[in-house]
């Protein structure tokens, strides 16, 4: 699928704001950020954001008031209370995503889990239905479970990127593989699939921007970020800085300077 001119990718780059943490991580994460989804939808309306990843319920209740947001509807998820080998259950159909006005589909697959086969089958259905509606598919490609020793080793992340290509995703959302070199190989493994960094827990402002700079240098197309933006008091300014690194190739040190200044 040609992604250059889709809503969630602008000039080949993407900055997806993720806000599915109420389900994935529990309310604790939101207590450190925005409990009220309204201001986060406002953040997602900002120019630098190319997509907003939420679960169905938030889209139903809030999206109608924020029509300029590009919706990446997350069709599956699991909670932080779930115990055992990871399985991300589907809780929304592609049909419903289309009705809600989604611009793209988001889906998690935990390769390496004992439930891998089921998730591949679930994803097959979603990917094929998304094709019928010309909706790009962003795969949260997260090897995880008893057989996965290190979720962020270069080999694991590169494997995750390759799986996204082979399973038919358009965008692979993967963890940081640790270095520019490893990130370059990740991009090679993904072939025609766009590679996007997964944000992770909030870290130092400059440190995170440097990671973003590294992956952009390696050829990633952008990132999907949540906590590193909306858990900051200066979320708006920080998001602007992330946007400068992603869309304008501004060095991290300069972008962070603009935040503090």
Binding flag, residue 182, ligand FBP (CB under 6 A): no
Both tokens assigned to 244? 């400068």
Burial of 210 (0-12, 13-18, 19+ CB in 10 A): middle
Q: Which member of 173, 184, 194, 202 is catalytic?
A: 173
Per-residue interface string for the shown chain with ligand FBP, residues 68-107, x marking contact by CB under 6 A: ----------------------------------------
Are residues 54 and 71 in contact, defined by beta-carbon separation less than 8 angstroms?
yes
Least distance in angstroms from the C-beta of 154 to ligand FBP: 17
Least distance in angstroms from the C-beta of 128 to ligand FBP: 23
Least distance in angstroms from the C-beta of 110 to ligand FBP: 9
Rounded distance, CA 141 to CA 163, Å?
Answer: 8
| Long-range CB contact pairs, 93-98, < 8 A, 24+ | 93/129, 94/126, 94/129, 94/130, 94/132, 94/133, 94/135, 95/129, 96/56, 97/56, 97/73, 97/135, 98/133, 98/135
Number of residues near ligand FBP (by CB under 6 A): 14
Please list, in sequence order, all residues whose beta carbon lies within 8 angstroms of the beta carbon of residue 59, skipping any fewer than 6 positions away: 71, 73, 100, 102
Mark whether 173 is an active-site residue: yes
Binding flag, residue 18, ligand FBP (CB under 6 A): yes
Binding flag, residue 44, ligand FBP (CB under 6 A): no
Enumerate helices (H) and strands (E) in the chain, giving the number of each.
12, 10
Binding flag, residue 225, ligand FBP (CB under 6 A): yes
C-alpha to C-alpha distances, 114 to 7, 77, 214, 244, nearest whole angstrom: 35, 17, 33, 40
| Binding residue (CB under 6 A) for ligand FBP from 186, 198, 211, 214 | 198
Binding flag, residue 212, ligand FBP (CB under 6 A): no
Least distance in angstroms from the C-beta of 244 to ligand FBP: 18
User: CA nearest 202: which of 174, 248, 247, 233?
Assistant: 233
Are residues 183 and 212 in contact, defined by beta-carbon separation less than 8 angstroms?
no
| Binding residue (CB under 6 A) for ligand FBP from 52, 87, 110, 140 | 140
Least distance in angstroms from the C-beta of 132 to ligand FBP: 25
| Binding residue (CB under 6 A) for ligand FBP from 10, 13, 21, 56 | 21
Residue ranges in contact with ligand FBP by CB under 6 A: 18, 20-21, 24, 53, 140, 198-200, 224-228
Residues marked as catalytic: 173
């Amino acid at each position: 699928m040609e992604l250059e001119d889709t809503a969630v990718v602008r000039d080949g780059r993407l900055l997806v704001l993720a806000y599915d943490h109420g389900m994935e991580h529990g309310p604790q994460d939101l207590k450190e950020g925005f409990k009220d989804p309204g201001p986060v939808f406002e953040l997602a309306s900002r120019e630098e954001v190319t997509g907003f990843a939420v679960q169905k319920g938030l889209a139903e209740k809030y999206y109608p008031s924020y029509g300029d947001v590009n919706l990446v509807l997350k069709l599956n998820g699991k909670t932080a209370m779930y115990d055992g080998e990871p399985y991300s259950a589907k809780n929304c159909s592609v049909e419903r995503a289309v009705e809600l006005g989604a611009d793209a589909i988001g889906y998690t697959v935990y390769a390496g889990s004992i439930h891998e086969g089921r998730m591949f089958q679930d994803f097959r259905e979603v990917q094929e239905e998304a094709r019928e509606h010309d909706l790009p598919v962003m795969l949260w490609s997260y090897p995880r479970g008893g057989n996965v020793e290190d979720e962020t080793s270069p080999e694991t992340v590169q494997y995750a990127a390759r799986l996204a290509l082979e399973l038919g995703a358009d965008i692979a959302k993967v963890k940081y593989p640790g270095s520019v070199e490893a990130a370059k190989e990740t991009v090679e493994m993904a072939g025609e699939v766009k590679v996007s960094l997964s944000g992770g827990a909030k870290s130092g402002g400059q440190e995170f921007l440097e990671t973003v700079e590294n992956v952009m240098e390696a050829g990633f197309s952008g990132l999907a970020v949540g906590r590193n933006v909306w858990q900051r008091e200066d979320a708006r300014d920080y998001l602007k800085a992330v946007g400068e690194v992603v869309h304008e190739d501004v060095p991290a040190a300069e972008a962070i300077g603009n935040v503090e200044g």
